[in-house]
Amino acid sequence: MTDDVMISLENVSKRYRGQKAPAVENVSMTIRRGEIVVLVGPSGCGKTTTMKMINRLIEPSSGRICVDGADVTSLDGTELRRRIGYVIQQGGLFPHMSVATNVGMVPKMLGWSRRRIDERVDELLHLVGLEPGQYRNRLPRQLSGGQQQRVGVARALAADPPVMLMDEPFGATDPLTRDRLQNEFLRLQEKLQKTIVFVTHDFDEAIKMGTRIAVLGERSRIRQFDTPERLLAEPADKTVGQFIGAGAALKQLNLRRVDAVEWNEAELMHRDESPTAVLRRLDESGAWAVLTVDSERRPLRWVGPRDLEPGQTSLDGVGIPVAVVEPRATLQDALDAMLGAGCGASVVVDDDGRYRGVLDIESLMRAIRDMREVERDRDRGMAEAPPRLPRQSDGSRDSASVRTLESR
Ligand SMILES: Nc1ncnc2c1ncn2[C@@H]1O[C@H](COP(=O)(O)OP(=O)(O)OP(=O)(O)O)[C@@H](O)[C@H]1O
């Protein structure tokens, strides 16, 4: 095994007792350090069985699985938990235990001191964006679905394992929360550089999260194991093509970043300006709305002529709250933000939330048209591969980042 490999499966099979056909048959794959490998495939194809054999929640019938050079069958439970974190839907938290007890569970099993556990719990809650003072003593049912999921991630990270297994971790959340959790997790992963096996049946999620994606068929047979870009551009066979589904070009929205397309300028006005001044500016510029900003040039709301009533004296609370995206967000994130805000534009902001430009629906449509043309040309064997989202030196993709104004 080379140093680069963190997990290897060699000819692994699983036949459940009483079943004629194996659920997983003769699967071999290697997973490199720091990558997120997504297992994706139709229901019942064996994704979960394959993943659970890595931490021996399910024992393989035959074959060999190594994690960081050690055969998992040779490791005892404590050692396995130290090496492998596990996240499932809704966090899989124990309902009668506080957030702190849930997160501190593995360190407690590992025999850490009370003080060390407390410090670690607070550190992890901070890391996943939950204020310890506010959340450590709550019960899981006193948290939203997204917060439970964050606690689940914190718990899996508690003993700082090099490997994380994630089984449809964001599956039970609504689309907006899911998107936010995915983005947060990718941002976290940039720092943590864990080796992650991630199971989902959602191909869009696979494209967004995966450094590489294994498309599985029956009995976990690997149909294709490739980067998202190559899967979209060159599906190995018809079945993979069907699974990817129509609109591969649209899915590439997940692979292009906001800073790869042209932005426009908005008509900026300070929030303290008068409605009369706004109307004058709209008249002079012909813009559909002005963008109000605070003294730090952080965008607040779009204000159009119809938002202003005669006799109005202030812009407070007037207009539509803006959706903001960072230059590193994907075009898919920008589109989702636009749809979520009910407005055909996202405001691009820097790390401090300051205005940088506007990505509007027309620029987005142009980018989609360009991608479609590249795809059509490629089908005719003429074009080069489409521009890609730059990858980090370790091969992982830059994370996306989208925030709505309310979430700041
Ligand atoms: N404990 C079990 N005993 C017998 N058969 C099982 C058991 N667990 C799973 N199976 C069978 O093994 C096959 C693979 O199941 P598995 O849960 O790994 O699939 P999956 O791809 O994760 O499915 P899904 O996407 O629906 O969660 C299925 O046919 C399932 O019915």
pLDDT score of 96: 93
* 185-189, 243-247, 284-288, 366-370: least confident range: 243-247
Q: Tokens 């809650």, residue?
A: 125
**pLDDT tens-digit profile of 28-65?**
999 999 999 999 988 899 999 999 999 998 999 999 99
CATH topology of domain 5-245: Rossmann fold (3.40.50)
CATH 3.40.50.720 fits 260-365+401-407, yes or no: no
Indicate whether 295 pLDDT > 80.
Answer: yes
**pLDDT tens-digit profile of 64-77?**
999 999 999 888 87
Indicate whether 166 pLDDT > 60.
Answer: yes
* Cα 242 to ligand 1 centre (Å): 22
Indicate whether 247 pLDDT > 80.
Answer: no
Burial of 299 (0-12, 13-18, 19+ CB in 10 A): buried
Choose between 405 and 7: higher pLDDT: 7
407 CB within 6 A, ligand 1: no
Give the SS3 label for residue 385: coil
Sketch the domain layout of the chain as residue ranges.
5-245, 260-365+401-407
Strands 5-14 and 24-32: antiparallel
49 CB within 6 A, ligand 1: yes
3-state helix, strand, coil in the chain (%, to 5): 40, 25, 35
**pLDDT tens-digit profile of 10-32?**
999 999 998 889 999 999 999 99
CA distance 92 to 94: 7
Give CA separation, 40 vs 92, 99, 187, 292, in Å: 21, 31, 22, 44
CA 49 to ligand 1: nearest atom: 18
Question: What average pLDDT does the chain have?
Answer: 85
* Cα 11 to ligand 1 centre (Å): 19
Confidence grade of residue 407 (pLDDT, cut at 50, 70, 90): very low
pLDDT score of 43: 87
Give CA separation, 365 vs 261, 308, 336, 370, in Å: 11, 30, 14, 9
pLDDT score of 300: 95
Confidence grade of residue 248 (pLDDT, cut at 50, 70, 90): low
Mutate to test the pocket of ligand 1, among 38, 45, 218 (most ligand atoms within 8 A of CB): 45
CA dihedral defined by 340, 342, 347, 350, rounded to 10 degrees?
A: -20
The interface predicted TM-score of the complex, written ipTM, equals: 0.96
Strands 323-325 and 345-349: parallel
* Cα 60 to ligand 1 centre (Å): 14
Confidence grade of residue 252 (pLDDT, cut at 50, 70, 90): confident
201 CB within 6 A, ligand 1: yes
Confidence grade of residue 408 (pLDDT, cut at 50, 70, 90): very low
- Please name the residue whose Cα sits nearest to atom 24 of ligand 1: 43
Indicate whether 384 pLDDT > 70.
Answer: no
pLDDT score of 331: 87
DSSP letters along 198-231, please?
EEES-HHHHHHH-SEEEEE-GGG-EEEEE-HHHH
47 CB within 6 A, ligand 1: yes
Indicate whether 115 pLDDT > 60.
Answer: yes
21 CB within 6 A, ligand 1: no
46 CB within 6 A, ligand 1: yes
CA distance 363 to 366: 5
CA distance 214 to 290: 46
CA distance 158 to 120: 7
Confidence grade of residue 277 (pLDDT, cut at 50, 70, 90): very high
277 and 269 in contact (C-beta within 8 Å)? yes
Mutate to test the pocket of ligand 1, among 13, 14, 15, 16 (most ligand atoms within 8 A of CB): 16
Q: What is the pLDDT averaged over residues 292-305?
A: 94
pLDDT score of 380: 62
Among the listed residues 90, 22, 85, 69, the one whose alpha carbon sits nearest the alpha carbon of residue 50: 22
Mutate to test the pocket of ligand 1, among 47, 49, 202 (most ligand atoms within 8 A of CB): 49
CA distance 248 to 330: 15
Provide the residue type at 59 as one letter.
Answer: E
Give CA separation, 96 vs 141, 142, 244, 388, in Å: 9, 11, 41, 46
Choose between 327 and 369: higher pLDDT: 327
* Cα 46 to ligand 1 centre (Å): 6
Sheet of strand 355-360, all strands in order from the earlier edge strand to the far edge: 355-360, 345-349, 323-325, 402-404
* Cα 244 to ligand 1 centre (Å): 22
221 CB within 6 A, ligand 1: no
Choose between 319 and 79: higher pLDDT: 319
* Cα 188 to ligand 1 centre (Å): 31
Q: What is the pLDDT averaged over residues 158-173?
A: 89
275 and 301 in contact (C-beta within 8 Å)? no
Half-sphere exposure of 316 (CA within 13 A, CB side): 2
CA 216 to ligand 1: nearest atom: 21
DSSP letters along 137-153, please?
T--GGGS-HHHHHHHHH
Choose between 165 and 316: higher pLDDT: 165
CA distance 51 to 38: 10
* Cα 48 to ligand 1 centre (Å): 7
Q: What is the pLDDT averaged over residues 263-276?
A: 94
35 and 52 in contact (C-beta within 8 Å)? no
Q: Tokens 């992650």, residue?
A: 196
20 CB within 6 A, ligand 1: no
16 CB within 6 A, ligand 1: yes
